[in-house]
Amino acid sequence: MSIEFKTITPQDISFFTTLLGPSGAFSDAENLDVYGWDYMHELFSKPEIVLKPSNTEEVSAILKYCNEHEIAVTARGAGTSLSSAALPLHHGVVLSLERFNKIINIDTENLQATVEPGVINEHFANEVLKFGLFYPPDPASKGSSFLGGNIAHSSGGPKAVKYGTTKEYVLNLEVVLATGDIIWTGANTLKNSTGYNLTQLMVGSEGTLGIITKIVFKLIPKPKYNLLMLAAFGSAEKACETVSAIFREGITPSALEFMERDAIDLTLKHNDINIAVPEWVAAHLLIEVDGNYPETLYKDCDVINAVLEKHGCGDVLFAESDFEKEQLWRLRRKVAESVRLESAYKEEDTVVPRASLPQLLRGVKETGKKYGFRSVCYGHAGDGNLHVNILKGDMDEENWNHTIKAGIREIFELCKRLGGTISGEHGIGFTQKGYTDLVFTPTHKHIFREIKKAFDPKEILNPGKIFD
């Protein structure tokens, strides 16, 4: 389907400026450029106008107007998407949620919080921590990404392995539909069996169904202690095998991250991190356990150590201080940025059942050999979620833009065969749309389209994303 959207006219600009004031609407070329890029910096698609509403009523008025006038609207959080979800492919309006930056309420009686979608993830987590509360979802972008964007992509992060992804913490959403109608999707309760689950339908819908304007999150008590260790393996596949073995011993770590040698080397190269990695190391697992009683955490570590030893782990570095913990976490968190500093790259967000990780890793490397690309693999191994970074290096443009797509497709085909899928936590956006035929049948697409129309009859919201 090819939709024709209306080009923004001076009358439209006048309407928006009257509604939002001059600081809430701008269309000068230079400032628009910023909103034509996202974090991936691969695609550029410029909006015709950027709007910065401050409250639900303004969002409603904008959408009502755009719906009547058939103007495309793309919601934008902090622009940290790895799937180009925030890019205005059809130009029109970029609706920035940057002014929705208030924590409305932290309810310490019910362990809930009500926030606006433009609050930065880490800021929110720090604020609730002041009350001894824990908001676990911690995507790599947590220092800059907005909570609304996290919901739109069903974001994960290292803590997801024990605590679940963003979706597990969303109780209720205030959403503005394309028509301007405002609804709450659910209730502020831990359980709800009242009608279709619109809350979870919004989670992961990447701004295609409505604009989230308020969020009610569930919080949990913050565990008091944690222990962290870095386990070195001579074989990356052995490291992957170890992952499912740990769970089989009855332990659920609060983080279980994998980094292959290349990821570690790039990170050490581009950062000031003081960790010596011997020649023989092919991969690391970073393993954290948490809880309220330190003595049992040590026991958990004993169990984990036994598993590590049995699976050929060569060395375990146990973080002895908060500083050492922070060093190890920096090693893991800086991988993505370091890859970026090294080369242009494509990041694939593969996900499979946890025990299939060794097969996935082997397949990725074989595909790389076949198509002549270097891949750097790391990620949330405890969830079976492996980030495969394919480096451009000195590859020519033809290969980079065309040939290796067949290789990426082979990797996703493998994910599918292993019971997995093509995105664990980054979303489809535009970047992965070319591969969705592997996982969406015509029936899926029909259902998606009809759902989309139920919320957004003229399909003005984030057109061109997820599916056609």
**Within positions 95 to 114, which residues make up the interface with a second copy, using CB under 8 A?**
107-112
Q: If residue 323 lies in a helix (H) or strand (E), which one and from where to where?
A: helix 322-333
- Should residue 160 be labelled a site residue for a second copy when binding is judged by CB under 8 A? yes
Residues 103/119, Cβ–Cβ less than 8 Å: yes
Among 56, 101, 188, 327, binds a second copy (CB under 8 A): 188
Q: Write the DSSP assignment of 29-93 as a string of letters.
A: HHHHHHTT--TT-S-----SEEE---SHHHHHHHHHHHHHHT--EEEESSS--SS-TTS-TT-SE
Q: What is the CA radius of gyration of the chain?
A: 23
Nearer to a second copy, 213 or 244 (CB): 244
Distance CA 429, CA 163 (A): 25
Closest distance between a second copy and the C-beta of residue 241, in Å?
10
- Should residue 187 be labelled a site residue for a second copy when binding is judged by CB under 8 A? yes
Among 45, 165, 431, 462, binds a second copy (CB under 8 A): 165
Within 406-445, which residues bind a second copy (CB under 8 A)?
419-428, 436, 439-441, 443-444
Q: Please give the distance of CA 79 from its chain centroid, rounded to a whole number.
A: 12
- Should residue 349 be labelled a site residue for a second copy when binding is judged by CB under 8 A? yes
- Should residue 214 be labelled a site residue for a second copy when binding is judged by CB under 8 A? no
The Cα angle at residue 221 between residues 105 and 108, in degrees rounded to 5: 30
- Should residue 384 be labelled a site residue for a second copy when binding is judged by CB under 8 A? yes
Applying CB under 8 A, which part among 18-26, 60-68, 293-301, 363-371 lies near a second copy? Answer: 293-301
- Should residue 344 be labelled a site residue for a second copy when binding is judged by CB under 8 A? no
Closest distance between a second copy and the C-beta of residue 270, in Å?
27
In this structure, the number of other CB atoms found within 10 A of the CB of residue 419 comes to 12
Residues 381/243, Cβ–Cβ less than 8 Å: yes
Nearer to a second copy, 22 or 195 (CB): 195
Residue 420 tokens, joined: 């997995």
Among 14, 34, 299, 468, binds a second copy (CB under 8 A): 299
Residues 384/416, Cβ–Cβ less than 8 Å: no
Residues 208/461, Cβ–Cβ less than 8 Å: yes
Within 122-141, which residues bind a second copy (CB under 8 A)?
132
Within 239-258, which residues bind a second copy (CB under 8 A)?
244, 247-252
Within 38-97, which residues bind a second copy (CB under 8 A)?
none
Nearer to a second copy, 52 or 346 (CB): 346
Distance CA 191, CA 84 (A): 33
- Should residue 191 be labelled a site residue for a second copy when binding is judged by CB under 8 A? yes
Closest distance between a second copy and the C-beta of residue 356, in Å?
8
Applying CB under 8 A, which part among 28-36, 162-170, 316-324, 331-339 lies near a second copy? Answer: 162-170
